[in-house]
Amino acid sequence: MSVEGQASWSPTQRPGRENVRERLLDAAAEEFTENGFAAAKLQDIARRAGFTKGAVYSNFDSKQALFAELLSKRSMELAGRVIETVSGLGPGDAAGKGGSAIATWVVAEPRWPLLVTEFGIQVGRDPKLAPEYRLERRHLRDELAALISQRAATWGVVDGLDARRVATSLLALISGLAVEHSVDPEEIDESFIADAVAELLAGAFARAVGQSEL
């Protein structure tokens, strides 16, 4: 039989390690947001991703480690979207647009910030979880601070801005607003959240401009 007449085929390939991790993280996001951190099961995450439970343990030490990496990934994705939104804007406009982008995310994915709060409470009650999660949160604050510093540098105010303090305040504000929104979405609505975040950012940028002019 000629080559042209042969049926085309290719051997089944095992997914690469990075592909497996991404599929597990995507499945974990669904499982955690639907059932909460405490009720989520690794076997269900593996099933959603199309793997056995062993695949989870081959890539993550525990459910806590899986959630911590997922949290970092989702947080940095949000930060990246916000930075892209404010690209090319001055400090004042950036604060407003950044606040709107974050508010839209909080309202569109209300269960995710609540998950962060749920996990934080569990870590506070379980000393064994605290060290690893503390390192993850510090890494997240560092990454977010780096993004804020990059934007501040384009405005010429990087020397007057404590980017890590701004990053920490922003993460705390988002978590608190998400909880308030879940309890009272009529009053703590998207507009309220946008204004609160914009005020935090505008104040930080204004102080940085003032320090730079001294």
User: How does pLDDT run across 103-137, given as a tens digit for each residue?
Assistant: 998 898 877 877 888 888 888 888 887 887 888 88
Helix axes 163-183, 91-108, angle to 10 degrees: 40
Instruction: Give me the torsion for CA of 72, 76, 79, 84, rounded to 10°.
Output: -170
* 3-state secondary structure at position 48: helix
Task: Give which of 57, 70, 64, 58 is closest to 17, Cα–Cα.
Answer: 58
Contact 27, 33 (CB under 8 A): no
- Residues in CB range of 162: below 8 A, 6 or more apart: none
Sorted by sequence, the CB contacts under 8 Å of residue 122 that are 6+ apart come out as 37, 38, 129
165 band by pLDDT with thresholds 50, 70 and 90: very high
Report the topology of domain 14-60.
Arc Repressor Mutant, subunit A (1.10.10)
Give me the mean pLDDT over the 8-30 stretch: 71
Q: 138: part of which helix (H) or strand (E)?
A: helix 130-155
User: CATH 1.10.1740: does it fit domain 63-213?
Assistant: no
Alpha helices in 36-162 (DSSP H): 42-49, 53-59, 63-86, 91-108, 111-125, 130-155
Which residues, 6 or more positions from 126, have their beta carbon under 8 angstroms from its beta carbon? none
Query: How many residues would you count in the chain?
Result: 214
pLDDT digits (tens, 9 = 90+) for 21-49: 999 999 999 999 888 888 899 999 999 99
Other Cβ atoms less than 10 A from the Cβ of 34: the count is: 12
| 193: region left, alpha or beta (phi > 0 left; psi from -120 to 50 alpha) | alpha
Q: How far is CA 194 from CA 25, 60, 106, 165, in A?
A: 28, 35, 10, 20
pLDDT of the residue at 74: 82
Q: What is the pTM of this model?
A: 0.75
Domain chopping of the chain, boundaries: 14-60, 63-213
